[in-house]
Amino acid sequence: MKKLLITLGALCIISLPSMASEPFGLIYQNTTHQLLGSGSVNPTKVGKSKSKCFFGLVAVGDCSVKTAMTNGKIKSLSHADQHVKCICGYRVIETRAYGQ
């Protein structure tokens, strides 16, 4: 019974990333997904913000849409997306804001 519970617990933990709204890779990930946007403004500027995560233990940086807008000097947001690159636990998350 104890082995069964341990196995079920391990399977639950392994399957958690598959329930996320974005693709998730434990060993390697290189994905881009849309965060928000209306597309009502024709984008002429791009702003970026970045954060880093080390093995799920330490995370530093600011990858918010607001920071990306500030860095790109964007006043009117068209849309934003997020690029995630993970290699063996080292994860870089870059948010890109598009607008005018």
Q: What is the pLDDT of residues 49-84, one digit of tens each?
A: 999 998 878 999 999 999 999 999 999 888 999 999
Evaluate whether residue 76 is within a structural domain: yes
Any domain includes 30: yes
Query: Would you say 98 and 40 are in contact if contact means Cβ atoms under 8 Å apart?
Result: no
Please state whether 83 falls in left (phi above 0), alpha (psi between -120 and 50) or beta: beta
Q: How many domains is the chain built from?
A: 1
- pLDDT of 18 > 50? The answer is no
Phi, psi angles (nearest 5°) of residue 57: -105, -40
Residue with tokens 């995630």: 84
Q: Which domain holds residue 53?
A: 23-99
4 lies in some domain: no
First to last CA, the chain: 60
Provide the token pair at 71: 């860095």
CA distance 45 to 90: 29
Its pTM surpasses 0.75:
no
Within a domain: residue 7?
Answer: no
Asked if the structure places residue 42 within a domain, the reply is yes
